[in-house]
Amino acid sequence: MTATVRYRDVEVGTEIAEQVYPVRRIDLIRYAGASGDFNPIHWNERTAKSVGLPDVIAHGMFTMAQAGRLVTDWAGDPGALVEYKVRFSAPVVVPDDDKGAEITVSGVVKEKLDDNLVRIALTARSGGAKVLARSTALVRLA
Interface residue list for other proteins (CB under 8 A): 1-2, 21, 27, 30-31, 33-37, 39-41, 47, 50-54, 57, 59-62, 64-66, 68-69, 72-73, 77-79, 81-91, 133-134
Q: In angstroms, what is the minimal distance from the CB of 66 to other proteins? A: 7
Residues 23/92, Cβ–Cβ less than 8 Å: yes
47 or 123: whose CB is closer to other proteins? 47
109 or 132: whose CB is closer to other proteins? 132
Q: Which residues of 14-33 are buried (b: 16+ CB within 10 A; e: fewer)?
A: bebeebebebbbebbeebbe
Q: In angstroms, what is the minimal distance from the CB of 99 to other proteins? A: 15
Q: Which residues of 69-85 are buried (b: 16+ CB within 10 A; e: fewer)?
A: ebbbebbebeebbeebe
13 or 71: whose CB is closer to other proteins? 71
User: How far is it, in rounded angstroms, from Cα 102 to Cα 124?
Assistant: 10
81 or 121: whose CB is closer to other proteins? 81
User: How far is it, in rounded angstroms, from Cα 106 to Cα 1?
Assistant: 24
Q: Tell me how long the chain is.
A: 142
Q: In angstroms, what is the minimal distance from the CB of 3 to other proteins? A: 10
Q: In angstroms, what is the minimal distance from the CB of 84 to other proteins? A: 5
